[in-house]
A and B are shown apart, each in its own frame.
Chain A
Amino acid sequence: MAHGPAKGIGRWLFTTNHKDIGTLYLWFSFTMFLLGGFFAMVIRAELFQPGMQIIRPEFFNQMTTMHGLVMVFGAIMPAFVGLANWMIPLQIGAPDMALPRMNNLSFWILPFAFAILSSTLFMEGGAPNFGWTFYAPLSTTYAPPSVNYFIFAIHIMGASSIMGSINIIATVLNLRAPGMTMMKMPLFVWTWLITAFLLIAVMPVLAGAVTMMLMDINFGTSFFNAAGGGDPVLFQHVFWFFGHPEVYIIILPAFGVISAIIPTFSRKPLFGYSSMVYATAAIAFLSFIVWAHHMFTVGMPLTGELYFMYATMLIAVPTGVKVFNWVATMFKGAMSFETPMLFAIAFVILFTIGGFTGLMLAIAPSDIQYHDTYFVVAHFHYVMVAGAVFSGTGAVYYWLPKWCGKMYNETMGKLQFWIAFIGFNITFFPQHFLGLAGMPRRYADYALQFADWNMVSSIGAFMYGAAQLLFLYNVIATIVAGKPVTEPKTWEGAEGLEWTVPTPAPYHTFSTPPEVK
C-alpha cells in the first residue's frame, strides 16, 4: 500500500479513496452552499423593502424553492456525507469505506443531479416555483414544465443518498477494528449509523412521492388529483412521512460532531455516553410517528391532532437528554474557546432556541396561528442553520488540521464565528416577531407594518453571507499558507483513533487494524 494518489484530474474522477471522496463531497457541498446562499441573498434583497424592487414575484417563488432544495439536498446532506467519508474509517480504525467503488459512484452522480436542477432556472416557464415541499397539485397540475427535471434530479439525489447510507452501514457494521465494540464507537459514528438507517427508510419514500407526481403529470394517474378520485392530502402525508425523518437525518450527524468537539475543549469525556446513544435511537424512532404535526391545518380530527401533538412533544425528552449531557460535559471542565468550540457552544444555545420554538409549534391550537408564518421560517433556520451548518463549520475547523496538516488562523476563525453568530441572529431572531405579528412566508411582498424587521433581517442576512465568504477564505488560506502542524493530536484534549494517525492523515491509514483496548 505504498502508492499515493494518482496524478491529475483522474485522481478525482476515478478515486475510491475515502479521504478523496470525503474531500469531493465537502467541496461540492460548499459550492452548493454558496449557490443556495446566493438564492437566499436574492430573497432577502427583495424583502429589504416592501413592494417589488429587484425581481418579479414568479422569480421570487423560484428562488425560495431552489434555496430550500439546494440547501437541504445539496449543501447540508452532502456536507455530512463528506464528513462521514473522511472520519468514520479513521474513527473506527478501518482502512477505507466498505464499498469504495460505490462510494465513487454515489458522489459523482450528485453534480449531475444539481446540474439538472439548476438548469431549470434557464428553462421556459422557469424553475420549480412550488416551494421546497412541492405540495401537489401545486407541483403537478399547476407546475411549470421544468417539474419533470426536478423530479429526475430528486431521483438521482435519492439514489446517491441511499448508496452512501448502505456504504456507511456496511463500513460501521463490518470494518470496525478489533476491540471496537458498538458501545465504544465515537458518537459521530453512532449518529451516522442511525442516520443511514433513516435514509434507507425514507429516501425511497421521497422517490415514490415524486414518482407518483411524475405519473400524475405525464401518465394520467390520479394519486393526488381529486377529480380522478385521488387526494391532495395524501401527498402531504407521504411527503412528511419522508420529511420529518429527513430533518433528523440532517441534525443527527450534527449532534455527533458536537459530541466530539465539546469533550475535546472541555478536556473531559462526554457525559452520559450511553444515554446519548439511546437518545439518538429514540429520536430516530419518534421521527417516524410524528409527521402530521406539519399538517395541523389540513382538517384532522381532534384525536389526530392530540396524538401528533403529544408524540411531537415527546421528542423534547431525548433531545433534552442530549442538551443536558453537553452542558454536563462542559460543567467543571477545563474549557478553552478555540473556533470549533465556539461553534459548538453556539450550536447548543441556538439549537435549544430552535427546539423551544419547535415545541411552541407542536402545540396544535397555537400552530394554527403560527402555521406558514415567518415564525416557522425562524424556527427551522434556527435548527437547520444554527444546528447543522454551525456544526458543519465547527467540524471543518476541528478536523482541518488533521486533513491537510496545516493550522488555520485562530483570529480569523474567531472573526468568522462572531460575524456568523451575530449575523445569523440578526437575520432570524426578528423573523420570530414577524411571524407572531402575522407575516406569511413565501410571499415576495409584505404589508408595511413588517418593513422595519424585514430590513433588519436582510442586513443580518448579508452579514451572515459575508461570514461564509470569510469561511471560504479561511479554509483556502489554511490549505495554501497555514502553519504546518505535525503532532498526531492537534488538540490537547482530543480522544479517538483519528488522533493516533500522523498529521496530515496519510493517503492510506489503518492498513493494519489498530488495537482498541
Chain B
Amino acid sequence: MVTSPTQRLVVKLLGGAVAMFFFAIFVLPPIYDVFCDITGLGGKTGGKYVPEESVIDESRTVRVQFVATNNGAMPWDFKPMVHEVRVHPGAAVPVKFMAKNTTSKDMVAQAIPSVSPINAARYFLKTECFCFNQQPLAAGAEAELPLVFIVDRDLPSAVHTITLSYTLFDITGRSDAPLTASTN
C-alpha cells in the first residue's frame, strides 16, 4: 500500500510526530526525575537511607533548620518542634514535627520535602521520615511526626547551613492514587 515516495515520507514524518508525543509523556518526566535525583536539583531528597557505618565527623558542625509550610488552603497546624539543630556530619539525629488536624473531618496529608541549598540535597540522608508515608489524622487529632536524618560526611565544605522544608498537601479523597512520593 505504501509505495510512492510521498507515502513513505508521510509515514516517516507521522511516525516522528507520534514518537515526539510519547517522548513528551513517557520519556521527558522520568529523565527529569533521574536528572534531579543525580544533581539534587529542585532540592529533592532521596528515599529511605540505610546507614552503613557510623563514623561521626566531630570536627565539623552543620546547622540544620526546619521549615513547615501548608500548601494552598490546607488547614492543619503543622510545625517543627525544634526550629534548628547543630549536628556533626555522620551522626543520626532524631527530630519531631507536630501536626494537628484542626478540622471536624478526617483527613489525609502528604508532606513533601525540599532541601536548600540544592547542592546539599544529595547529602541529606533520611533513615526515617514521616514523609515516606501518608498521614491520616482523625478530626481534631494531633500527632508527633518523627524524622531521623544523617548529614553525609561528604557534604561540600562550603555548606554550613542546611534548610529542610516540608510542604504539607491535603490529599484527602485522592490518597488511593498511586503515590510515587514514596521515593521521597
Contact = CB atoms under 8 A, between A and B. Distances in A.
Interface of A: 98-99, 141, 162, 165-166, 169-170, 173-174, 200-205, 207-209, 211-212, 220-223, 226-231, 233-234, 237-238, 241, 299-301, 304
Interface of A (DSSP majority class) = helix
A212 B36 CA distance: 19
Bin chain B's interface residue count.
35 or more
Interface in B29-69: 29, 32-33, 36, 39, 41-42
B122 to A, nearest CB: 13
Contact of A228 (B6, B72, B119, B180): B180
A98 B6 contact: yes
Interface string B163-184: 0000101110010111111111
A163 to B, nearest CB: 9
B17 A237 contact: no
14 contacts: A99-B6, A166-B13, A174-B9, A200-B17, A204-B24, A207-B21, A222-B181, A226-B71, A226-B112, A228-B110, A229-B112, A229-B184, A230-B29, A238-B28
Nearest to A227: B169
B29 to A, nearest CB: 6
B10 A170 contact: yes
Given A205-B20, A238-B24, A304-B41, 18 more contacts: A170-B13, A200-B13, A200-B17, A204-B18, A204-B20, A205-B23, A211-B21, A222-B177, A226-B71, A226-B112, A227-B71, A227-B169, A229-B179, A229-B181, A230-B180, A231-B36, A299-B118, A301-B39
Given A174-B6, A228-B179, A230-B180, A241 B13 contact: no
B21 A237 contact: no
Contacts of B178: 228
Q: Which of A98, A209, A304 has the most CB of B within 10 A?
A: A98
Given A220-B177, A228-B179, A229-B180, A211 B25 contact: yes
A262 B36 CA distance: 48
Given A174-B5, A208-B24, A226-B112, A201 B180 contact: no
B28 A241 contact: yes
Nearest to B19: A204
Contacts of B72: 141
Nearest to A169: B13
Nearest to A231: B42
B181 A227 contact: yes
B16 interface: yes
A177 B131 CA distance: 66
Nearest to B109: A227
Contact of B169 (A98, A212, A226, A237): A226
